Structure 1
Amino acid sequence: MKIEIDCNPSTADSDVLSQGIMNFNKLMIQDLEPMEAEKRFYVFARDDDGEVCGGIRATCYWNTLHIELLWLAEKARGGGAGRALIHRAEEYAREHDCANALVETTSWQAKPFYEKNGYKHMATLEGRPKGQASHYLSKTLA
């Protein structure tokens, strides 16, 4: 067996991996939501001029809201925009049958913000990135 690293694999090769894990998952749990059902979405905060001043990029799959990123411009912070973004993302997730939410944040980012919004700390990975930590939080949406 030859083991290799490929930073630019063919679509056919990468599809073999994706299809392989999807087939395995379906074999193990017949009614598991397929990855094709994944719903990527964005929630935007706009200022009075209609300019984006913050937002969330997220995905719903396997009955879980995955918050990939949340950002707010300095001028939009402290007035409830972050809380409103989270609320709207969670509302959308519930509409799409998500019962859980999951987020990763780093030591210099928003752990206290997520905790104030009902997220519970699950784990910390120290040294990610070097000299810092990544925190993993979850919330029950049901």
Structure 2
Amino acid sequence: MEYQLDIEPSDNNINEIRDGLIKHNTPFLGGIPKSQVGYYAIEGEKKVGGIIADIWGNWLLIKFLWVDDSVRGKQVGSELIKLLEAHAVSEGCKSALVDTLSFQAKPFYEKQGYKCQMVLDNYPMDSKLSFLTKALVKE
């Protein structure tokens, strides 16, 4: 056997490794439904905010939340989160997960009821990466 370093892996090489991992994981995770969902704030014909997430099993996994500077402070982000969480609950989600860098939105998510579970210091260099979760339904 030999080992080969690739400092610029091609999309084909990345997909080959990803496909191998998916094949390995499928017996354990294959039956769990997964979908993507987005909610947008639109003013006129222009998007001024949006949130993109995955719904995977019982979890809402928030990937991206953006609010344009022109509508910051007008509760657009809070409304997007509220709408997305309601949709996620209607799809069977019980919990939500988001990660955010220290210069991004940790206090915002905490105001929405998210609790910090873990922080990675010096990520990727001088920032912190926080992982926050929220129970969407009371058990």
TM-score, reference length from structure 1: 0.85
Amino acid at match of 1:116: K
Structure 1 runs (4+) deviating above 3 angstroms are: 1-6, 10-14
- Secondary structure, in 3 states, of the residue corresponding to 2:125? coil
Give matches, 1:55-134, under 5 Å. 55-134=50-129
Q: 1:91 to 1:3 in 2, by over 3 A?
A: farther
The partner residue of 1:17 within 13, 17, 21 is 21
Q: For structure 1, which runs of at least 5 residues remain unmatched after alignment? A: 27-31
Task: Kindly indicate whether the alpha-carbon contact (under 8 Å) linking 1:33 and 1:61 is maintained by their aligned counterparts in 2.
Answer: no
CA distance in 1, matches of 2:123, 2:129: 6
TM-score (ref. length: structure 2):
0.86
Distance 1:44 1:15, change over 3 A: same
SS in 1 for 2:78: helix
- Cα RMSD over matched residues? 1.9
List gaps (5 residues or longer) in structure 2.
none
Tell me the distance in 2 between the aligned counterparts of 1:14 and 1:73.
Answer: 34
In the alignment, the residues of structure 2 paired with residue 11 and residue 136 of structure 1 have an alpha-carbon distance, to the nearest angstrom, of: 27
Aligned residues: 133
Q: Does 1:46 align with 2:42?
A: yes
How far the C-alpha of 1:15 sits from its partner, in A, is: 2.4
Compared with structure 1, are the counterparts of its residues 21 and 117 closer, same or farther at alpha carbon in structure 2 (3 Å cutoff)? same
